């Protein structure tokens, strides 16, 4: 799905404009497609709204089971910034039913 972002580089193309992961994915599930999307010109943001870089992705693969990635990947930096602004990244998870 992430690689589908690159077709938006062509004005007449249609496809996906953004991929948002709020729950978190393991690096080995994210990095291959994110790498291709970044190489093709997509923008990927972290929770703190800083950009993911190729070296960031490489570092995540050193300990793939130890981390979970939350991100916004979009066809343009402007769209990534707009989506990141609308996400309450630090909002606490709702308590399970019956929990105090």
**Structure-model confidence comparison of residues 71 and 8, the more confident one:** 71
Q: What average pLDDT is seen over the chain? A: 82
For residue 61, what is the DSSP state?
T
**Structure-model confidence comparison of residues 11 and 95, the more confident one:** 11
pLDDT at 8 over 90: no
For residue 37, which of 71, 3, 62 has the smallest C-alpha distance? Answer: 3
Q: How far apart are CA 16 and CA 18, in angstroms?
A: 6
Strand order in the sheet with 43-45: 18-25, 69-74, 43-45
* Residues 7-23, mean pLDDT to the nearest whole number: 72
Q: What is the CATH number of domain 2-86?
A: 3.40.190.80
pLDDT tens string 40-74: 889 999 988 999 999 999 999 998 888 889 999 99
**Structure-model confidence comparison of residues 96 and 23, the more confident one:** 23
Local structure of 23: helix, strand or coil: strand
β-strand 69-74 against 43-45: which pairing, if any? antiparallel
């Amino acid at each position: 799905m992430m690689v589908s972002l690159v077709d938006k580089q062509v004005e007449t193309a249609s496809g996906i404009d953004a991929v948002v992961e709020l729950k978190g994915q393991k690096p080995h599930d994210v990095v291959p497609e994110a790498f291709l999307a970044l190489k093709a010109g997509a923008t990927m943001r972290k929770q703190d709204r800083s950009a993911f870089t190729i070296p960031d992705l490489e570092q995540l693969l050193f300990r793939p089971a130890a981390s979970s990635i939350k991100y916004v990947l979009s066809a343009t930096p402007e769209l990534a910034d707009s989506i990141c602004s609308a996400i309450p990244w630090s909002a606490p998870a709702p308590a399970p039913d019956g929990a105090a």
